Amino acid sequence: MPNNPLVSDRNVEFLLYEVFDVEALCHLNAYEEHSRETFDLVLQNARKFAREVLFPTYKPMDEAPAQMVGGGIKVHPAMREVYPHLVDQGMVAATRPHEVGGQQLPHMVATVCALYGMAANLSAVSYLGLTAGAAHLIEAFGNEALKAEMMTRMYSGEWTGTMALTEPQAGSSLTDVKTRATPTERGHYLLRGNKVFISGGDHDLTENIVHLTLARIDEAPPGIKGVSLFAVPKKRLEGGKLVPNDVHCAGAFHKMGWRGIPSIALNLGENDDCQGWLVGEPHRGISYMFQMMNEARLMVGMQGIATASAAYHESLEYARTRPQGRPLTSKNPTTPQVPIIEHADVRRMLLRQKAIVEGALALGVQTARYADLAAHGATPDARRRAFLLLDMMTPIVKSFAAERGFESNALAVQIHGGYGYTSEYLPEAWLRDQKLNSLHEGTTCMHSMDLLGRKVVADQGGALRMLGEEIAAATARAASAGVDAGWGAALDRAVGTVGEVTMHLAGLGVAGQVEEMMCHSMDYLDLVSTVVVSWQWILQAAVAKEKLAESPSHASSDLYEGKICAAEYWIKTELPRVEQLAHLCRSGEGSYDRMNAAWF
């Protein structure tokens, strides 16, 4: 639909400048060269590029996925055309320092710029998203030779990169990675193994691809502490020339979504000639990956938000223009039909989409702010606090955006009626795309266990205490801005409930009753996510109230009134679920745990 903006510019400005004050970051040394002018410039470029260049390529690429031809993958012609322009946007190294060719942009701004591209064509921007993650691993842990040979070429977009973790027997359980790495006297290792689902694992966009690969060095200890990280190029440099490195594409998966980027099976070392270079120290591969995962998972969260946002705006336009039926009170069939947005149930679905999309986006920007402060905060204490909050918030952003984003994408199909079920309209494609976000970079269940088993109990519950302080500051601000006192009180009570439930479950863990502790980890994730998104809605309502108090006939009064209404919707319809979820977590209700595999 030509009128679909994909992402609301005014909402982005509201979040960046009015709620989270991104300009305050310019007082930090790392960002002192930036100002609102530079932020607005990159945002403007990102929007224009997303809408005018990337979005028109989305449907053709969804309809004709990349193909395996003669042992290699051929991407869609539109992808080849758009790739150099994507690189020119400079987003691969946007947040990285100038020394490595980056723009040293705050994550808050870079993440929102990425959001526009993802909403326009998720697969297309993923080639570079993966490259950024892989290059950052080399920047953080690789030696100077790897940086000079591989990282620089990846940050410039000359080569791309992948994350080659998954194997047929090692998906959620990376402990079971089997790919072998045998040391040689020449310093490199010889790799042998099979990887699956490697996104961007082969293509004809660039002359080389570097796979950041998990493998086990011969004689390494079993388990997670025996897994190392290697840089394995598709072609290696010998005498200044690129020669094949015994890395083979064994086939592409036929996927329900994300069709513009191939996910392939990758065979390493079929001819015992696949050379890889160790990144960092032996046996520390998983810990390196974990250190980088906050970044990758925040980006998966943004993918979920972007996909839900594109569909929300599509359904909003549709609801404003599709005439069907008449008001309940109209008895006269000769009167014109009304646009479906006039029907209360359609507005219910749109408001739910808005509450999910804008609640999740606020949380994404908040989390990106923690990423900025964790890296560049003014004091060690500020950095530590931001790091703990970032670490705890990441599985929540990732999972909330994926799970509720899927619900929001389904509502977009529903609002389109029967047309939504056809491929002539876009919502079904975005629904297919969205499903991946609850699977890759760790399934939602893995994140629920990470949140409950590691994040909230780390540092003796330090992050959870800090979260409580942040939420209390928001409810106090809302109270003085004149937001309905009942909303803040309900949120404060819910924070208390999270604390009690966490203590109870942590106690089970300490007593060695780990299965009982984890039995309702998904409900626990839902509980904490609901509270955290309520916090974001109270905060947005507080700012909206403040702005309206400054000037009741404000030019943006529609935006502010909409924020207050969406906050009310979320607080009144979602927050009450907290009690039921808390009850489930405390009760240890165990029917599915008891359900014998033979009884199904």
Ligand X SMILES: Cc1cc2nc3c(=O)[nH]c(=O)nc-3n(C[C@H](O)[C@H](O)[C@H](O)COP(=O)(O)OP(=O)(O)OC[C@H]3O[C@@H](n4cnc5c(N)ncnc54)[C@H](O)[C@@H]3O)c2cc1C
CB atoms inside a 10 Å sphere around CB 423: 11
* Nearest approach, Cβ of residue 164 and ligand X (Å): 6
- Per-residue burial over 51-85, b if 16 or more Cβ lie within 10 Å, else e, is bebbbebbeebbeebbeeeeeebbbbebbeebbee
Residue from 50, 198, 266, 412 in contact with ligand X (CB under 6 A): 198
What lies within 8 Å, CB to CB, of 364 at 6+ separation is 111, 115, 298, 301, 302, 305, 397, 401
Contact 126, 79 (CB under 8 A): no
Cβ atoms of 533 and 496 within 8 Å: the answer is: no
- Closer by beta carbon to ligand X, 92 or else 474: 92
Which of 197, 288, 318, 430 is in the footprint of ligand X by CB under 6 A? 197
Which range touches ligand X (CB under 6 A), out of 192-200, 265-273, 473-481, 544-552? 192-200
Task: Identify the bridge partners of residue 193 per DSSP, sorted by sequence position.
Answer: 268
Q: Is the dihedral of CA 368, 86, 56, 13 positive or negative?
A: positive
CB nearer ligand X, residue 162 or residue 267: 162
Three-state DSSP state, 272: coil
Residue with tokens 């359980």: 173
The residues assigned a catalytic role are 441
CB 519 to ligand X: min, Å: 11
**């918030």: which residue's tokens?**
393
How far is the C-alpha of 438 from the C-alpha of 307, rounded, in Å? 13
Window of 87-95, 112-120, 255-263, 388-396 that interacts with ligand X by CB under 6 A: 255-263
Nearer to ligand X (CB atom), residue 72 or residue 171: 171
Rounded Cα gap, residues 144 and 146, in angstroms = 5
Residue 297 within binding range of ligand X, rule CB under 6 A: no
Least separation in angstroms between CB 73 and ligand X:
14
Binding pattern to ligand X, positions 6-45, x when CB under 6 A? ----------------------------------------
The distance of Cα 212 from the centroid of its chain, to the nearest Å, equals 20
Residue 411 near ligand X by CB under 6 A: no
Closest to ligand X by CB, 114 vs 261, is 261
Q: Which position among 263, 275, 408, 475 is part of the footprint of ligand X (CB under 6 A)? A: 263
Of the residues 57, 103, 199, 353, which one makes contact with ligand X according to CB under 6 A: 199
- Least distance to ligand X, CB of residue 445, Å: 4
CB closer to ligand X, 297 vs 545? 297
Could you say which DSSP state residue 151 is in?
I
Comparing CB distances to ligand X, the nearer of 156 and 443 is 443
Stretch that binds ligand X, among 46-54, 278-286, 439-447, 554-562 (CB under 6 A): 439-447
**Residue 11 β-bridge partners:** none
Does residue 520 bind ligand X (CB under 6 A)? no
Note whether 545 and 562 are within 8 A (CB). Answer: no
Instruction: Rank residues 5 and 65 by Cβ distance to ligand X and give the closer one.
Output: 65
CA 279, CA 230: separation in Å to the nearest integer? 5
Tell me: does residue 521 bind ligand X (CB under 6 A): no
Residue at shortest CB range from ligand X? 171
Residue 250 CB-density burial (10 A; 0-12 exposed, 13-18 middle, 19+ buried): middle
Among 258, 277, 387, 537, binds ligand X (CB under 6 A): 258
At position 442, the amino acid (one-letter code) is G
Q: How far is the CB of 261 from ligand X (least distance, A)?
A: 8
| Min dist. Cβ of residue 185 to ligand X (A) | 30
DSSP character string of 226-262: GEEEEEEESEEEETTEEEE-SEEEEEE---SS-TTS-
Task: Specify burial of residue 397 (Cβ count, 10 A radius: 0-12, 13-18, 19+).
Answer: buried
CB of 128 to ligand X, least distance (A): 14
Residue (of 424, 433, 469, 449) closest to 524 by Cα position: 449
Continuous segment of H or E residues that includes residue 263: strand 263-268
Contact partners, residue 485, CB within 8 Å, separation at least 6: 479
CB of 561 to ligand X, least distance (A): 40
Of the listed pieces 67-75, 361-369, 411-419, 438-446, which binds ligand X according to CB under 6 A? 438-446
Q: Which is nearer to ligand X, 166 or 208 (CB)?
A: 166
CB of 154 to ligand X, least distance (A): 15
Q: Which is nearer to ligand X, 209 or 533 (CB)?
A: 209
Applying CB under 6 A, among 443, 513, 556, 557 the residue interacting with ligand X is 443
> Could you tell me the smallest distance in angstroms from the CB atom of residue 397 to ligand X?
17
CA–CA separation, 27 and 391 (whole Å):
24
Span 113-172, contacts to ligand X by CB under 6 A: 162-166, 171-172
Pick the closer one to ligand X by CB: 215 or 436. 436
228 sits near ligand X (criterion: CB under 6 A): no
Q: How many binding residues for ligand X (CB under 6 A)?
A: 19
Minimal distance, residue 439 CB to ligand X, in Å = 5
Q: Is 385 in the site for ligand X (CB under 6 A)?
A: no
Q: Which stretch binds ligand X (CB under 6 A): 116-124, 151-159, 230-238, 440-448?
A: 440-448
Q: Is 448 in the site for ligand X (CB under 6 A)?
A: no
Does residue 401 touch ligand X according to CB under 6 A?
no
**Is residue 445 near ligand X by the rule CB under 6 A?**
yes
For residues 6 and 122, which CB has a smaller minimum distance to ligand X in the complex? 122
Nearest to 115 by CA among 293, 351, 365, 318: 365
Contact 357, 309 (CB under 8 A): yes
Per CB under 6 A, the list member of 188, 440, 477, 563 interacting with ligand X is: 440
For residues 453-472, which are near ligand X according to CB under 6 A?
A: none
Q: Which of 136, 153, 255, 398 binds ligand X (CB under 6 A)?
A: 255
Which residues fall within 8 angstroms of residue 67, CB to CB, at 6 or more apart?
A: 73, 74, 252
436 sits near ligand X (criterion: CB under 6 A): yes
> Nearest 10 degrees: CA dihedral of 444, 446, 451, 454?
-170
List interacting residues with ligand X (CB under 6 A).
162-166, 171-172, 197-199, 255, 258, 263, 436, 439-440, 443, 445-446
